[in-house]
Chain A
Amino acid sequence: MDDVLTAPMVVEFPFTRSLGPVLSAFLTGLRERTVLGVTATDGRVVVPPTEYDPVTAEEVRDLVEVGQTGTVTTWAWNGAPRRGQPLAHPFAWVLVRLDGADTALLHALDAPEGPGSVSTGMRVRVRWAQERTGAITDIACFEPAPHDPPPPGRPAAHPGTFPEPVTGIVAAARLDYTYSPGRAQTRYLNALAEHRTKGERCPRCRKVYVPPRGACPTCGVATGEQVEVGPAGTVTTFCVVNIKAKGLDIDVPYVYGHIALDGAGLALHGRIAGIPCDQVRMGLRVEPVWTEGGRHPDHYRPTGEPDAAYETYKELL
């Protein structure tokens, strides 16, 4: 079997998200080196705070300021940090119950002495980032703290108001993939590289799919028999494009059409050139034009043959 084509693919997507009043106060507080929690209906102090009660789902708005020192409730060693994680050198993931809080916050613990220096119950404190914008990463990480017991008493109320509160975050994300189009499309793309168009025939309904996707969507069975189609075909429908697409080096107006290659069971689409826009018509006979080094046809141009009769392509519209 032919080697299947693969290519690196990067998906990047910045999500812009708005903040409710509690999350806004918490993240603005981090910018101002202040850690806030919210008092839940049952009196527990939730850090990091939620907009709604974790049990009753009621709105919760009573903010308190908790300590910047806390206790590790569980930890895990991360010997090989990944892109985007808080520290570039080995560190411990920790859940930290900050003094005055009843829940724990996930973050990194900088433990230069290694996993042997980390334990559940150890005391740690916030290390602030130099540049703070109103994000969870305003806490650069935690660092070990002296083993003093947590201070007694309940945390004090806090109004949660700061100058210039942050109202949203932009969460950038990037994921790297190795994309493979699969076996059927690899066969199709390899044939295209030789300037031949190969579809695949459904063993049940006999329809020839171009480009093939590996299965007949009508019958739900695998296609496998390769069928060379074209090279010429018939324009089944078309439109005139008058708006220039971003990043596309084609002058407007141009014609984009559906083209049923001879022998294909459905039409594919492509640009039609070599003819004035106002002369393109249904039934026009066209053939592909490849440019040097291109895997896909650059465009289709008229063959000069008489137009195809409507009956020959009406099922392919």
Chain B
Amino acid sequence: MTRTEAGQVAVVAFAQSRHERATDGSSEVEMLLPVLRDVLDRTGLSTGQIDFTCSGSSDYLAGRPFSFTMALDGVGAWPPIAESHVETDGAWALYEAWVKLLTGEAETALVYSYGKSSAGDLPEVLTRQLDPYYLAPLWPDSVSLAALQTRALLDTGATSERELAGIAARSRAAAADNPYAQLRGGSVDADAPPADAYVAQPLRRHDLPPVSDGAAAVVLAAGRTARRLTARPAWIRGMDHRIEAHSPGARDLTRSPSTRLAAEHAGLFDPGAPPVDVAELHAPFTAQEVVLRNALRLGEETAVNPSGGPLAANPVMAAGLIRIGEAAARITRGEARRAVAHATSGPCLQQNLVAVLESDGSAEDGSAEDGLTEGGEGA
């Protein structure tokens, strides 16, 4: 067994469901199964050819204990497979799979995640992730917490309600080209005075993500295997995740130092690195995009959430993994050479993951074409 060099693991396939407010009575595995078939078909791999499987989900969403073991029915787990699960967004499952591939213990990994929020009351369910002593007994719903963060940002003057309406409009207009999105097309006119009533002042309806049922899956592969499975691998140049204090009153809600640090460690700011063409940001609320753009130092040259982002479809537990998949898909389609994907977890952007993805030949050392063909046998 030989370690795989960082940068020699790629996203080789991505699939997602058509996200909707409520799936038509399907169980979680019934919702997930077509997505798993789709992602495997894109690589030509069968389930038995996957070295490692890792998933992300939360039983709280649909209220089904051990739902992830039922979801394994969709994978084909016999003869016994190497498998793991994280109780958070699938982006963290992808992180675990990436580490597994870097150790050289696996050449291919299947990562999937799903969320069926329609079974419960999502803002209320999310209160159960909060500190049980000081926060959870007050039942502060996720929309209210995001409203506190948005007010703090408006107070600094770093954004305006008009700019936030513009983010909502741009996201939903971008989603018009995304057949998987739930809210598609422009319903918000950024230049008109905000017409939506406040849902939780300062948040208006358009500042909120939809509540979505959905699933996503990604196949990762190392080195030569990645090249065999796709003509254009989206190489993961770096990935890192960082967490901040849980208490929203102990943090500066207008900044995201954890995102900044994760981006530094993922190589986003490396000297001489090519510009970032695309950023897929897991910002379910409009103001969070402003915070993240700052943390990631994104400028006008970067297209933010061309998929529509979480404001167009927000299947909790899958929305972060979808950001990585969408960013990789831009590279696979040749629309971007360098992309950054971000995922978040916890209240008010408490925990953040950043992945930097690149196409062949975009690295400044020029070694991509030849060096990468050595794949898992390198180092």
Contact = CB atoms under 8 A, between A and B. Distances in A.
Interface string A18-58: 01000100010000000000000000001010100010000
Contacts, number: 193
Interface residues on B, range: 35 or more
Interface string A73-89: 11111110011111000
Interface in B14-40: 24-30, 33-34, 36-37
Contacts of A216: 73, 76
A291 interface: no
Contact of B249 (A76, A103, A137, A183): A103
A4 interface: yes
Interface string A187-198: 000000000000
A107 B138 CA distance: 7
Interface stretch (B91-99, B194-202, B304-312, B353-361): B194-202
Contacts of B186: none
Nearest to A5: B25
B76 A219 contact: yes
B371 interface: no
A76 B76 contact: no
A83 B29 contact: no
B139 interface: yes
A175 B121 CA distance: 8
B151 interface: yes
B148 A171 contact: no
A203 to B, nearest CB: 12
Given A73-B249, A83-B139, A177-B63, A220 B47 contact: yes
B275 interface: no
Interface residues of A, number: 68
Interface in A81-126: 82-86, 93, 95-97, 103-108, 115, 120
A104 B348 CA distance: 15
A182 B26 contact: yes
B132 A78 contact: no
B249 A77 contact: no
Nearest to A10: B63
B250 A76 contact: no
A282 interface: no
Contacts of A1: 24
A136 B147 contact: no
Interface string B267-308: 000000000000000000000000000000000000000000
Given A48-B247, A215-B33, A221-B76, A82 B25 contact: no
Nearest to A118: B201
A176 to B, nearest CB: 7
Contacts of A4: 24-26
A180 B119 contact: yes
Nearest to B78: A218
Nearest to B131: A48
A48 to B, nearest CB: 5
B128 interface: yes
Given A120-B155, A182-B26, A173 B76 contact: no
B36 to A, nearest CB: 7
Given A85-B138, A106-B140, A173 B128 contact: yes
Interface of A: 1, 3-6, 9, 11, 15, 17, 19, 23, 27, 46, 48, 50, 54, 73-79, 82-86, 93, 95-97, 103-108, 115, 120, 135-137, 169, 171, 173, 175-186, 213-222
Interface of B: 24-30, 33-34, 36-37, 47, 60, 62-64, 70, 72-78, 118-121, 123-125, 128, 132-141, 144-145, 147-152, 155, 198, 200-203, 245, 247-250, 253
